[in-house]
């Protein structure tokens, strides 16, 4: 297949200077000495600062149980940013930024810590004139999300006559439907829904955000976005690496919980939802909720027929070096039934999508790393070509490339030059790096910024999170009741178990081949 590259003539993104800086605020990071903070949150905040998207009137308070002074904490941050920054390090500018940090040590279940945090908030708020706005970020293990929400509330730090109070909660939000509902109840006891920002870093990716603008700003595509023209949808999130050193976490989770229930279901809602009446946060989230509510909840027999699970065995890694199987990875049960691959066929029972199957697959230790969404359209009638050398027509495709390359491509057929009628597939490609300045972000910049300006569009409400679990729960229940007997059933470095191909083949379809 030949490629035709399309280069936009738009101005370079980020140079127009029209984005206002965030509101003044104090940011309190729980788990400030942890991996998430140093690898992702710190670089994201640094990028916002360097791009003049943070107000000059801000302060950051770190809190964790690591025995550090503020000076030691700042020194650690200085080392971390040089390891994980996505831009060139500027020592003079960094010196002004890191002075905005302070640090408190304590146990998250100890009321004394929260008294100390409140005192520090009062101090830095006055020094930096933040207007009383406070953003709490739970960069912690999920087991303490509810505890932190309660402790902040019981300390009276969730409300104020001066400024707003907002709470960012990391994923995963619960480990099943029951725990999700219970966690929501615990948090909503102390917080209002409009104060809660459940974060999913996948939604911070530009290509994910572009799903909405692509659909609703281009009149040539929206009329085709329905059962009359779309044959089916494929959504793939493939990882080349295995579980590596995350075995302790992953063996209690699996790919259905780790990837599909949150990232993929939320992105699917953006892709398939009805047109909102505006780009206001609630208008978009209302339509996302309607879409997820329309996804058919599987009966046990449907799970057996339309869901595939897999677990990788020994094979090769991304460097073609030997890779141990999942069960041989550190901290993994040597008889584990946890899935590292899943493929699921979903149905959306609404007027727009009824009868259009949606195939999702995700896995670790696959042939390559990439994330893409494929809209495969129905074939044109072949009758016109009955008296030509053309024996069949290919379906047109619209592909959203999410990672590692970011872009959009369209596949269509064109006549090969010559005296006879022969067709060839060609692709028109748009790549972000060609049209726009490459983003220097971690994916968290947009999400943190949106929270600080009060835009909840990219964050999930309680109903959205719970509905995603309602879709996933029947699959989890069947898989728990019927442990897999054939694990491992695919070799590391391949495309997963053969049954994943059969899932589409029985419908006369196939996964898109990545060249």
Is 393 inside any structural domain? no
Contacts of 448 (CB under 8 A, 6+ apart): 41, 44, 45, 48, 168
Q: Please state, as a whole number, how many other Cβ atoms lie within 10 Å of the Cβ of residue 139.
A: 21
Q: Are residues 139 and 261 in the same domain?
A: no
Q: Are residues 225 and 327 in the same domain?
A: yes
Q: Are residues 127 and 219 in the same domain?
A: no
The mean pLDDT of 444-462, rounded to a whole number, is: 93
Helix intervals (H) in 11-110 = 35-36, 42-50, 70-84, 91-98
End-of-domain residue from the set 170, 196, 228: 170
pLDDT above 90: residue 275: yes
Q: Are residues 154 and 213 in the same domain?
A: no
Q: Are residues 155 and 214 in the same domain?
A: no
Residue count of the chain, please give it.
515
Token pair recorded at residue 228 = 């009359």
- Structural domains in the chain (count): 2
- Choice between 100 and 20, residue whose per-residue pLDDT is larger: 100
CA neighbours closer than 13 Å in the CB half-sphere of residue 241:
5
- Choice between 426 and 404, residue whose per-residue pLDDT is larger: 404
Q: Are residues 231 and 369 in the same domain?
A: yes
Please tell me the pTM assigned to this model. 0.90
The mean pLDDT of 298-325, rounded to a whole number, is: 95
Confidence at residue 307, expressed as pLDDT on a 0 to 100 scale:
98
Q: Are residues 150 and 274 in the same domain?
A: no
Where would I find the beta strands (DSSP E) of 16-133?
25-30, 58-64, 101-105
Cα–Cα distance measured from residue 259 to residue 250, given in angstroms and rounded to the nearest whole number = 11
Q: Tell me the three state secondary structure of residue 360.
A: strand
Cα–Cα distance measured from residue 148 to residue 151, given in angstroms and rounded to the nearest whole number = 5
Q: 499-510: string of b/e by CB count within 10 Å (b at 16+)?
A: bbbebbeeeebe
Confidence at residue 242, expressed as pLDDT on a 0 to 100 scale:
95
Percent of residues, the chain, with pLDDT higher than 70:
92
Is 31 inside any structural domain? yes
Is 13 inside any structural domain? no
End-of-domain residue from the set 113, 141, 170: 170
Going by pLDDT thresholds of 50, 70 and 90, the confidence category of residue 123 is very high
Cα–Cα distance measured from residue 262 to residue 483, given in angstroms and rounded to the nearest whole number = 23
Q: Are residues 96 and 43 in the same domain?
A: yes
Is 458 inside any structural domain? no
The parent domain of residue 74 ranges over 25-170
Told to judge if 263 belongs to the known catalytic residues of this protein, a careful annotator would answer: yes
Cα–Cα distance measured from residue 31 to residue 39, given in angstroms and rounded to the nearest whole number = 13
Is 108 inside any structural domain? yes
Token pair recorded at residue 40 = 């992702």
Q: Residue 349: which CATH number? A: 3.30.360.10
Token pair recorded at residue 401 = 């490339």
Q: Are residues 153 and 221 in the same domain?
A: no
Q: How do residues 45-72 score in pLDDT, each as one tens digit? A: 999 999 999 999 999 999 999 999 999 9
Cα–Cα distance measured from residue 27 to residue 34, given in angstroms and rounded to the nearest whole number = 16
Is 96 inside any structural domain? yes
Is 305 inside any structural domain? yes
Is 343 inside any structural domain? yes
Angle between the N-to-C axes of helices 111-128 and 145-154, in degrees from 0 to 180, rounded to the nearest 10: 70
pLDDT above 50: residue 277: yes
Confidence at residue 13, expressed as pLDDT on a 0 to 100 scale:
33
Catalytic residue among 190, 201, 263, 347: 263
Q: Which residue has the tokens 């939000």?
A: 173
Confidence at residue 23, expressed as pLDDT on a 0 to 100 scale:
94
* Burial (CB count <10 Å: 0-12, 13-18, 19+), residue 192: exposed
Cα–Cα distance measured from residue 402 to residue 77, given in angstroms and rounded to the nearest whole number = 30
Q: Residue 61: which CATH number? A: 3.40.50.720
Q: Are residues 31 and 104 in the same domain?
A: yes
Q: Are residues 125 and 236 in the same domain?
A: no
Confidence at residue 440, expressed as pLDDT on a 0 to 100 scale:
63
Confidence at residue 405, expressed as pLDDT on a 0 to 100 scale:
82
Q: Are residues 166 and 217 in the same domain?
A: no
End-of-domain residue from the set 149, 170, 191: 170
Contacts of 212 (CB under 8 A, 6+ apart): 270, 279, 284
Q: What is the mean pLDDT of the chain?
A: 90
Give kind and range of the element (H or E) at residue 443: none
β-partners of residue 474 are none
pLDDT above 70: residue 493: yes
Cα–Cα distance measured from residue 515 to residue 513, given in angstroms and rounded to the nearest whole number = 6
Asked if residue 408 lies in contact with residue 430, where contact means CB atoms within 8 angstroms, the answer is: yes
Cα–Cα distance measured from residue 66 to residue 189, given in angstroms and rounded to the nearest whole number = 29
pLDDT above 50: residue 11: no
Going by pLDDT thresholds of 50, 70 and 90, the confidence category of residue 428 is confident
Angle between the N-to-C axes of helices 445-453 and 42-50, in degrees from 0 to 180, rounded to the nearest 10: 70
């Amino acid at each position: 297949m030949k490629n035709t590259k399309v280069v936009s003539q738009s101005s370079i993104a980020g140079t127009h200077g029209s984005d206002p800086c965030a509101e003044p605020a104090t940011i309190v990071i729980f788990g400030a000495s942890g991996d998430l903070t140093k690898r992702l949150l710190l670089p994201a905040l640094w990028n916002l600062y360097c791009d003049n998207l943070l107000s000059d009137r801000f302060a950051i308070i770190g809190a964790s149980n690591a025995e550090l002074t503020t000076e030691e904490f700042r020194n650690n941050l200085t080392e971390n940013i040089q390891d994980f920054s996505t831009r060139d390090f500027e020592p003079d500018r960094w010196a002004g930024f890191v002075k905005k940090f302070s640090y408190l040590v304590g146990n998250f279940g100890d009321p004394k810590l929260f008294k100390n945090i409140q005192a520090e908030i009062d101090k830095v708020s006055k020094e930096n004139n933040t207007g009383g706005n406070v953003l709490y970020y739970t960069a912690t293990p999920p087991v303490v999300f509810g505890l932190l929400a309660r402790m902040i509330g019981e300390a009276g730090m969730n409300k104020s006559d001066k400024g707003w109070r907002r709470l960012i909660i990391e994923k995963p939000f619960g480990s099943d439907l029951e725990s999700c509902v219970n966690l929501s109840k615990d948090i909503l006891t102390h917080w209002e829904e409009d104060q809660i920002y459940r974060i999913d870093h996948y939604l911070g990716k530009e290509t994910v955000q572009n799903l909405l603008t692509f659909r609703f700003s281009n009149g040539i595509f929206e009329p085709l976005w329905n059962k009359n023209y779309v044959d089916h949808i494929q959504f793939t999130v493939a990882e080349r690496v295995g579980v590596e050193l995350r075995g302790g976490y992953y063996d209690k989770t699996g790919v259905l919980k780790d990837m599909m229930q949150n990232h993929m279901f939320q992105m699917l809602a953006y892709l398939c939802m009805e047109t909102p009446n505006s780009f206001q946060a609630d208008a978009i989230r209302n339509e996302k909720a309607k879409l997820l509510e329309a996804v058919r909840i599987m009966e046990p027999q449907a799970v057996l027929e339309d869901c595939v699970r897999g677990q990788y065995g020994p094979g090769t890694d991304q460097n073609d070096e030997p890779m141990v199987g999942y069960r041989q990875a550190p901290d993994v049960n040597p008889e584990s039934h946890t899935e590292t691959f899943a493929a699921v066929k979903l149905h959306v029972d609404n007027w727009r999508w009824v009868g259009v199957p949606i195939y999702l697959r995700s896995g670790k230790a696959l042939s390559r790393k990439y994330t893409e969404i494929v809209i495969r359209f129905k074939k044109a009638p072949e009758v016109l070509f009955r008296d030509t050398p053309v024996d069949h027509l290919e379906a047109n495709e619209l592909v959203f490339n999410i990672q590692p390359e970011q872009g959009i491509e369209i596949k269509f057929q064109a006549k090969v030059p010559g005296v006879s009628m022969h067709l060839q597939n060609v692709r028109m490609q748009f790549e972000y790096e060609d049209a726009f300045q490459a983003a220097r972000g971690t994916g968290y910049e947009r999400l943190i910024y949106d929270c600080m300006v009060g835009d909840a569009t990219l964050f999930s409400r309680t109903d959205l999170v719970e509905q995603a679990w309602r879709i996933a729960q029947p699959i989890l229940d069947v898989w728990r009741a019927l442990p897999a007997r054939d694990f491992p059933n695919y070799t590391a470095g391949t495309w997963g178990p053969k049954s994943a191909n059969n899932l589409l083949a029985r419908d006369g379809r196939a996964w898109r081949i990545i060249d």
